[in-house]
Amino acid sequence: MTTPIVLYTTHTHTFSLLLSLTQIYLSIYLSIYLSIYLSINTPIYSFSLLFFSKIHRILFSVFFFSVLILVFFNSFFSLFANFLHFFLRLHFFKYFSFFCIPFFSVSYPFFIRNVTNAAAPAESRTIETLDRRRARQSRDAAATASARAAETPLRRSRAVETPTRRRAPQSRDAVATATARAAETPLHKSFRNAANAATTARLRAAETFDRRRSRQSRDAAATARSRESERELQRKARNARNAAVTSAAARNSEGPQIRANRLSRPLAAYAPTAAFSALRMPVVLPVLVALFWSFLAFNYDPGIDLTTRDDLNVWPMTCVCQFCNAHKWAGEPACLCCYSGKVRLPRLL
């Protein structure tokens, strides 16, 4: 509790000393400007009596006096600006924490603690003695030396290496990785892919929303840079690889369950936004459904059980028309067979 009293006393004495110096400075400036004005105005006024009229003399005196007043106020405001700059630097953290921070409601205690922690070293630096400063500097030098002694040569070399030197080991590592990938068997590759997938899934499940957003932004920026730097031949090769993944050969080689999952994926992806799309764009849903079911009958697979889907199963023909005794499905309209008795068709033998 003694440090704030000492700091307040030191700041009060500094403020009183600055106020006294300001008063002395202003008095000296005022006396100098008045003496300059009187010494210059008297001969100019006597000279103007011979060559100028009374109105010209008055205008000249007013102009000359206004120029001196402007110079005086310019010096005064420059002195006041220097004094205010020093005063704000001296009390910045204190006044900022008490008057500006209450307008910000986000992380107020956290910000107050950071401002207080930042202001404490600055205030302690102003009152510490020469011996304390030397002791603090020696402790900082010892801590830095111990940290330098504890770091490994690899970390030290990575910290000082240039981009050109960094590019050479990276290229060697890439060549070694490519050689190892080419020499591994399909079983080792599957094990490695499974381990990488499990590690990636575990990291994705543990990351927060901010980390996921920053990772996605970094990936998007890296992808955009690679797209901008690739050549036309590389772009064509990449498009060909992407097309080969979803080609007809890949469709024919997939099993029934994989095909069912692929066909139901568009509807599953569209399901979260179906309610909003029905209110905002009523035409989009029929278009997407039509595109999904277009030519789907040509990809019929007997291994898929379609009887569990209510939108595909029409159920048995249990209904009988009362006019022509035709069998109909349960959801079939009444006018499709004989138009409710208005059309008489010949009997089928």
In contact, 29 and 75? CB cutoff 8 Å: yes
In the three-class reduction of DSSP (H, G, I as helix; E, B as strand; rest coil), residue 319 is classed as strand
Helix H or strand E encompassing 320:
strand 319-320
Mind giving me the DSSP string for 129-174?
Answer: -HHHHHHHHHHHHHHHHHHHHHS-HHHHHHHH--HHHHHHHHHHHH
pLDDT at 291: 67
Euclidean distance between CA atoms 113 and 124, whole angstroms: 17
Euclidean distance between CA atoms 260 and 312, whole angstroms: 14
pLDDT at 310: 72
Euclidean distance between CA atoms 11 and 4, whole angstroms: 10
Place of tokens 């469709």: 251
Euclidean distance between CA atoms 122 and 96, whole angstroms: 15
Rounded (5°) CA angle 199-200-206: 90
Low-confidence ranges of the chain (pLDDT < 50): 1-12, 93, 97, 99, 101-108, 281-284
pLDDT at 112: 60
Euclidean distance between CA atoms 317 and 333, whole angstroms: 13
Residue type at 211 in one-letter notation: R
Q: Pull the structure tokens for residue 232.
A: 């036309």
pTM to 2 decimal places: 0.27
**Sign of the four-CA dihedral 88, 91, 93, 99:** negative
Q: Pull the structure tokens for residue 74.
A: 């310019």
The string of pLDDT tens digits covering residues 179-214 is: 888 888 888 888 888 888 888 888 888 888 888 888
Measured between alpha carbons, how far is residue 100 from residues 93, 107, 111, 112 in Å? Answer: 10, 14, 11, 11
- Kindly report the backbone phi and psi dihedral angles of residue 339, in degrees, each rounded to the nearest multiple of 5, phi listed first: 55, 50
pLDDT at 130: 83
What are the residue boundaries of the structural domains of the chain, listed by start?
11-101, 192-229, 241-268, 316-348
